[in-house]
Structure 1
Amino acid sequence: MRFQTVRDILDFVRGFHQRAAQLFSAAADEAQRDKARWMLEWLAQHERRFSEALATFEQSPANAPLLQEWLQYAPDLERLPLQLPRLPAQLSADDAAALALAFDDYLVRLYKAVLDTCESREICDLFRMLLDQERAEERSVARSLSQLQDF
């Protein structure tokens, strides 16, 4: 799939976060260990917040011109596969973190692909900010897992 506008990419990313939230929420419902359930619930909530923040950004009239910008060299998702770790049916807290980091890694690669080809400063600034947020998310997941291990 090739993107055409900034909105196309953000719609894809927002949907990605929504699907990740649903996956983590469903896995939390099935989790047998408290640590895993807490981690999965935290991840689901975190993904929902990202999705909601993107929706708010997209709905703001001030952002309409940027969202309509065309990307001449949009990333090709077929060349950017999602690489998931092998996971058991029942996820542990470590499994949940590994899955979250795989999702974050995918988005980091997507944002870098946009940054490698973006032509306008505004588009580059937006995707640089999103990239920074994903990298912060990776640190947050690692920190949360470390804190959870202390329980």
Structure 2
Amino acid sequence: MNVETFQDLIEWTRLLHAHLAQCLKHCSSHQEETRAKWLLEYLSDHEKTLEKTVAAFERQADPKALHTWVYDYLSHTPIAPHQKCTMPYAKMSFDEICEEIFSFHDQVIQLYRYLEGRAEITEARDLVRDLLRLEEHEAKRLAFQSNLTRDL
């Protein structure tokens, strides 16, 4: 997927969350460690919710912002909706899963921070800022929930 506009960026982010949700769910059925299995199921549900929330941004966003070009976009490997999950999370420990998921969310947050400073119109800047706040809030929520699960 080529990301040329902020609408493409939202779609790319939505697809990332959707793919991650599917992969986490798939891996949960193959995970042997009970605590890690619960974490994968929780994370899968969380990513599905994030996918829907990001999609709502696209439906509600100012068309002027959506159609604004993203000039300084860093190239990322596109994720195809039908890409097969190779089950990496099924073989990871609880802590490794957390580290991987937090890294994923940190990358999205860093991208949004980068783009927030480069958005040329107010509407696009506001859109990226809102997406950034969503991702930051959800990352904090994931950290809190994973710490609760770790304590079980």
Q: TM-score, normalised by structure 1?
A: 0.82
**Tell me, what secondary structure is at the counterpart of 1:126?**
helix
Aligned equivalents of 2:89, 2:141: Cα separation in 1? 23
Are 1:2 and 1:75, in contact at CA under 8 Å, matched by a contact in 2?
Answer: no
Give the superposed CA RMSD: 2.2
**Equivalent in the alignment of 2:72:** 74
Equivalent residue for 1:16? Answer: 16
Pairwise CA distance, 1:125: 1.3
Task: Letter of the 1:54 partner, please give it.
Answer: V
Deviations 1:83-106 (A, max 9, x none): xxxx77522221221111011011
Asked if structure 2 preserves the Cα contact closer than 8 Å seen for 1:104 and 1:134, the reply is: yes
* Contact 2:65-2:127 at 8 Å conserved across structures: no
Q: For residue 32 of structure 2, what is the aligned residue in structure 1?
A: 32
Contact 1:94 1:145 in 2 (8 A): no
For structure 1, the 5+ residue unaligned runs are 79-86
Partner of 1:113: 114
Q: Which residue of 1 aligns with 2:98?
A: 97
Distance in 2, matches of 1:140 and 1:97, equals: 12
Work out the CA distance in 2 between the residues paired with 1:119 and 1:112. Answer: 14
Deviations 1:40-68 (A, max 9, x none): 111111111111122233234x6434322
Q: Which residue of 2 aligns with 1:7?
A: 7
Report the Cα distance in structure 1 between the residues aligned to 2:73 and 2:2, rounded to whole angstroms.
6
Residue matched to 2:63: 64
1:2 Cα shift?
5.8
SS at match of 2:120: coil
Contact 2:25–2:44, Cα closer than 8 Å, also in 1: yes
- Partners in 1 of 2:8 and 2:38 — Cα distance? 33
The TM-score with structure 2 as length reference comes to 0.81
Q: Which amino acid is 2:68 matched to? A: E
Q: Show the counterpart of 2:123.
A: 122
Deviation at 1:113, TM superposition (A): 2.0
CA contact (8 A) 1:22 1:44 kept: yes
Partners of 2:49 and 2:90 in 1: CA distance: 26
Q: CA deviation at 1:18?
A: 0.9
